[in-house]
A and B are shown apart, each in its own frame.
Chain A
């Protein structure tokens, strides 16, 4: 019996017994019965978005179905960005990206799978996002707003369907500045398309800004094993510490 088999067996018996410690001879480390999701639902580890989009497009490559009001705001945002004065862009003042914009930030994300919670730690602005699998979804009108909203999820096969509502309207959907209101409700279908790829099909529902619901597809790749999250601190006015940590430290 190989060592791998012994370990596998031990873990299985641990799951049955529920409590005993497992000693790994090679490293001398004392293990414990961690939750290990089935492979298709196991996203534990570090990931990063691929081809982080600046201007979001629909999943079939079209412009989002903006209402006249949204188109007007978006046009102003694009002009402000071009002029180098994107006052709409709260991350310029170290405010949170908020949800769903944080999904498109080009920084690592560390994911922790648990039976009742999926935790996304975003390196950017060291912001956590907790998705509760044991909570009832809350509609936009039923809660106060904050930056990340309230996210609940449920498994449909190996796809995690996450519903988020209750976001403030200080943020935009992506870097380019597509607007949204506090009515925004986002449904994500997140699944592994292969061992090292996560796909997030994001659907936006915000009737004041978009004449119909629309979706965009985001792809995340697994980062090399051993990659650690860097400390990202958003500031440019730190008098106490040395230059390397003044801004996003890598």
Chain B
């Protein structure tokens, strides 16, 4: 289906969203024909540069166990509050509803392409969604204290052929239930002979989760895509009202 490759990014995003309802894993991500980049990412396991597209996007918390992780009483209360708000048709607005940066790990789980760019001191991730930009500083310790910011602070280093990223935040304005103590460790590596990227995210926040848990995302190599402009600020149909996302 050669015309399939020429779909606009909007349609691809839509397809990504639809895949949630169906089987996300069934999405074909091995493309043929004229491409922007080679059909498979480079043979170097540490060369992650290029465009990738999540294929395991899931609105639910995406634990490897396939279920919602255990919550502390505080976490459970927060979850119940959110579930009730959704039932009432008044979802609690998160940062993305305001067009603010999505935070980590949430930004790694959006149905839009990402582009990784690597330099000696930094690994950069350009997210199409809401023009989020994630800076991962390489081979340096965290700042003390970590500055409060939506995107927190990510530091990374290579462990063999796996990029380890330690992330701390300081803010609780993201979709995943958590507080300022959130700490994540991501293990990002190429799998499937360079056709895919795997991110195992270790998540801990003792206030909300009685024990740490993992989520796992995979991303397809997308040699046919460029990151497009995403302007959340313009015509934000989900602009919150009194802290709630209201359909307009």
Interface residues of A (CB under 8 A from B): 18-19, 21, 27, 29-34, 44, 93-96, 110, 112, 114, 116-117, 119, 121, 125-128, 130, 132, 134-135, 146-148, 228-229, 231, 233-235, 238-242, 244-245, 249
- Please state if A132 and B233 are interface contacts (CB–CB under 8 Å): no
Query: A34 with B120: in contact, given A127-B131, A128-B126, A130-B227 (CB under 8 Å)?
Result: yes
* CB nearest to A112 among chain B residues: B117
Choice from B36, B49, B229 contacting A148 with Cβ under 8 Å: B229
- Please state if B139 and A27 are interface contacts (CB–CB under 8 Å): yes
Q: How far is the CA of A126 from the CA of B120 in the complex (A)?
A: 22
B115 neighbours in A (Cβ, 8 Å): 130
Query: A128 with B118: in contact, given A29-B158, A240-B173 (CB under 8 Å)?
Result: no
In the complex, which of the residues B46, B137, B243 has the most CB atoms of chain A within 10 Å of its own CB atom?
B46
Query: A132 with B101: in contact, given A32-B158, A245-B149 (CB under 8 Å)?
Result: no
CB distance from A229 to the nearest CB of B (A): 6
CB distance from A216 to the nearest CB of B (A): 24
B135 within 8 A of A: yes
- Please state if B99 and A94 are interface contacts (CB–CB under 8 Å): yes
The A-contacting residues of B in range 199-215, CB under 8 angstroms, are none
Choice from B100, B124, B233 contacting A119 with Cβ under 8 Å: B124
B120 neighbours in A (Cβ, 8 Å): 31, 34
4 further contact pairs, Cβ within 8 A, besides A121-B124, A228-B137: A18-B43, A44-B119, A116-B37, A233-B101
- Please state if B124 and A94 are interface contacts (CB–CB under 8 Å): no
Q: How far is the CA of A62 from the CA of B17 in the complex (A)?
A: 52
B44 within 8 A of A: yes
Choice from B137, B148, B158 contacting A245 with Cβ under 8 Å: B148
- Please state if A128 and B149 are interface contacts (CB–CB under 8 Å): no
CB distance from B121 to the nearest CB of A (A): 9
B36 neighbours in A (Cβ, 8 Å): 116, 134-135
B157 within 8 A of A: yes
A231 neighbours in B (Cβ, 8 Å): 101, 147, 149-151
* CB nearest to B139 among chain A residues: A29
B238 within 8 A of A: no
* CB nearest to B99 among chain A residues: A94
- Please state if B148 and A244 are interface contacts (CB–CB under 8 Å): yes
Q: How far is the CA of A116 from the CA of B50 in the complex (A)?
A: 10
Query: A235 with B46: in contact, given A119-B126, A240-B173 (CB under 8 Å)?
Result: no
A128 neighbours in B (Cβ, 8 Å): 126, 131, 133, 227
- Please state if B233 and A33 are interface contacts (CB–CB under 8 Å): no
B47 within 8 A of A: yes
Query: 22 A-B contacts, Cβ less than 8 Å apart?
Result: A18-B43, A19-B44, A21-B158, A30-B157, A30-B158, A32-B44, A95-B233, A96-B231, A110-B124, A112-B124, A114-B117, A121-B126, A132-B226, A229-B135, A231-B151, A235-B100, A238-B98, A238-B100, A241-B173, A244-B148, A245-B148, A245-B149
Q: How far is the CA of A9 from the CA of B92 in the complex (A)?
A: 56
B188 neighbours in A (Cβ, 8 Å): none
In the complex, which of the residues B47, B100, B148 has the most CB atoms of chain A within 10 Å of its own CB atom?
B100
B171 neighbours in A (Cβ, 8 Å): 241, 245
B46 neighbours in A (Cβ, 8 Å): 21, 30, 32
* CB nearest to B160 among chain A residues: A30
- Please state if B150 and A245 are interface contacts (CB–CB under 8 Å): yes
Q: How far is the CA of A129 from the CA of B237 in the complex (A)?
A: 25
Query: A94 with B157: in contact, given A18-B44, A27-B139, A244-B148 (CB under 8 Å)?
Result: no
* CB nearest to A126 among chain B residues: B133
Q: How far is the CA of A32 from the CA of B172 in the complex (A)?
A: 35
B58 within 8 A of A: no
* CB nearest to A95 among chain B residues: B233
A238 neighbours in B (Cβ, 8 Å): 98, 100
Q: How far is the CA of A125 from the CA of B173 in the complex (A)?
A: 18
Query: A33 with B47: in contact, given A128-B126, A228-B137, A245-B148 (CB under 8 Å)?
Result: yes
- Please state if B158 and A239 are interface contacts (CB–CB under 8 Å): no
B196 neighbours in A (Cβ, 8 Å): none
- Please state if B118 and A34 are interface contacts (CB–CB under 8 Å): yes
Q: How far is the CA of A96 from the CA of B231 in the complex (A)?
A: 8
CB distance from A131 to the nearest CB of B (A): 11
Query: A146 with B100: in contact, given A31-B120, A114-B49 (CB under 8 Å)?
Result: no
B135 neighbours in A (Cβ, 8 Å): 228-229
Q: How far is the CA of A12 from the CA of B44 in the complex (A)?
A: 16
A240 neighbours in B (Cβ, 8 Å): 172-173, 243
Q: How far is the CA of A21 from the CA of B160 in the complex (A)?
A: 9
